[in-house]
Amino acid sequence: MKSFSETYLKKLHIGSITAGSNVLMAPLAGYTCYPFRMMCRSLGAGLAFTEMVSANGLKYNDKATAKLLYTTDAETPKAVQLLGSVPSAFEAACKGRYTEAYDIVDINMGCPVPNIVKSGEGCALTQDLPLASKIIEACKRSGKTVTVKFRPGMNRSRIVVTEFARMCEDSGADMITVHGRTRNMMYDGEPVYEYIAAAKQAVSIPVIANGGIHSDEDAVRMMEQTGADGVMIARYGLEDPLIFVRLTGKSTDASKLSLILEQSELAESCFDETAAMDYVRKIASYFMKKLPGTKTCKQEMFRCGSMTELRRILARIFGETEK
């Protein structure tokens, strides 16, 4: 099997914006804050999206929501993901001060979580094409580049991937990302390549393939089977962010130890010590997956009381595994 970088790697043109590669990092609630996004970008990701942000929360100037949008000039281009179901709230969010620095607005029309769907948000929007269209048009009125992430349908008897993809393009979307699982599949099972391929065949805007990519081989297989314009890595990016290096062929001597220590320093510069430590513990826990003795290591991490102590523990844990 040929490598991704040899066969499929390219720059990605999204409206008037060009991303450095067609390997993207998905928005993940609780994880894709500024430090994590910057790490992914440094390793080769063409874009890394913020965790999903409530459009309505920004409308009411919710401080906790606004904190999710921390960024600096070092992050470019910038991509924010918004969640909601009210077109006017999306328009206000896109035109508001909290998203002013962001170049790309991604609309979450794929979240399968029950509370989100019951609220008429996320994947529920695949059942209401007129409303979904109004949301896209509302975002486009901000002048920003607009992308949409969605699933093929609620279940296999309610597949709307072709018509939904066309609606996105007709409403002004500059790119779509298709998660290859239906809503009832949640995050389990093999993605259905045919659904993503159908979306690619239906539109002329870029189509990004997402779902079930847990290795370099999975990324190549996804491109082979779907004809997509790129891939979006999700939870595997937390476990092994060096996948971005392997897929893009970027030159680096980074290790998990150097990455986690860099993350600790960047987090400290963005957040207070408590928030920074909470974030580093979460990321380190993912980095440790499949390593022996992780239970004891995690207990040590969560008992420590300062970032200095946490760094010493991390240096020992990852230093030993990388010898």
- Mind telling me the catalytic residues? 111
* Whole-number CA gyration radius for the chain: 19
Q: Could you tell me the two tokens for 260?
A: 């986690």
| Residue in the structure block whose two tokens are 């975002």 | 139
Burial class (CB in 10 A: 0-12, 13-18, 19+), 70: middle
Q: How far apart are CA 251 and CA 245, in angstroms?
A: 7
Return the H-helix or E-strand segment holding 146: strand 145-150
Cis-peptide into 77, omega within 30 deg: yes
In degrees rounded to 5, what are phi and psi of residue 49? -90, 150
Enumerate the H helices of the chain as residue ranges.
4-7, 34-42, 55-59, 63-67, 87-95, 114-118, 129-140, 161-171, 193-202, 216-226, 236-239, 243-248, 256-270, 273-287, 294-303, 307-321
Q: Could you tell me the two tokens for 111?
A: 């979240």
